[in-house]
Amino acid sequence: MQAQTRQADRTAAQAAGTMVTRCWSCRGPVAEGAPFCPTCAAVQPPGQADHFARLGLPRGFGVDAADLDRRYFALQRQLHPDRFATRSAHERALSQQQATALNDAYETLKDPLRRADCLLKLSGQDVVAEGCNLVNDPELLMEAMERREALAEAGSTVEVDAITRATRADVAACVGGLAAAFSAGDLAAAGRLTTRLKYLQKLVDETRVRKLQLRG
């Protein structure tokens, strides 16, 4: 019976295109990214699952915030290290790793910019790599430079607020554009919009700094 279940699990996991690993406790098959062994219910190491798989979501830019919250809190309840206080050191360590990986996945998918970055990375289009990745988009750079100059020259908090409002509207439009680009499978456009979003969010952050300077 148990062998049959295992076979069924393995087939289901293979059909879904996921990798199957072995449970460290009972040696049964576990789909990559599954937090618990379906056979013996032991907590598993976080493994290599991507952020979407970890939260049981399909890869895509359209993520419903309420659904994401529900999934996250349900999993976090099961995986919270407090629930493993009386378990073995190994299980405590695994639950800690799982909780950390889950937090990371949640924080990434919740934020449109990080979500877009993550999707591009998963598609092999690493636009915002660490280190010396240069922007090769004169129009975008010109816009960024002009806006930063306008902000530096803003002489009152009222002027800064106007820049903040305009930038937030642009952020919203940019996020809308990203949803359209990803659903059309246009990764080049998604890459450009992700870089633009990065600059726009940086500008929003800087408006806060500028306001503090003007108040001080």
Contact track, another protein, 36-75, x by CB under 8 A: ----------------------------------------
Angle, CA of 199, 125 and 192, to the nearest 5°: 35
Type and span of the H or E element at 77:
helix 65-79
What is the 8-class DSSP label of residue 130? Answer: S
Which of 82/130 has CB closer to another protein?
130
Total interface residues for another protein by CB under 8 A: 25
Report, in Å, the least distance between residue 130 CB and another protein: 6
Coil/strand/helix, residue 22: strand
| Residue 168 near another protein by CB under 8 A | no
Report, in Å, the least distance between residue 162 CB and another protein: 19
How far does CA 10 lie from the centroid of its chain?
A: 28
CB atoms within 10 A of CB 202: 13
User: Is the separation of the CB atoms in 24 and 47 below 8 Å?
Assistant: no
Task: Report how far residue 190's alpha carbon sits from residue 181's, in angstroms, rounded to the nearest whole number.
Answer: 5
| Among the listed residues 97, 123, 125, 201, the single contact to another protein using CB under 8 A | 201
| Among the listed residues 16, 74, 152, 209, the single contact to another protein using CB under 8 A | 152
Coil/strand/helix, residue 210: helix
| Residue 144 near another protein by CB under 8 A | yes
| Residue 121 near another protein by CB under 8 A | no
Task: Report how far residue 125's alpha carbon sits from residue 13's, in angstroms, rounded to the nearest whole number.
Answer: 27
Report, in Å, the least distance between residue 195 CB and another protein: 5
Which of 89/129 has CB closer to another protein?
129
Which of 4/136 has CB closer to another protein?
136
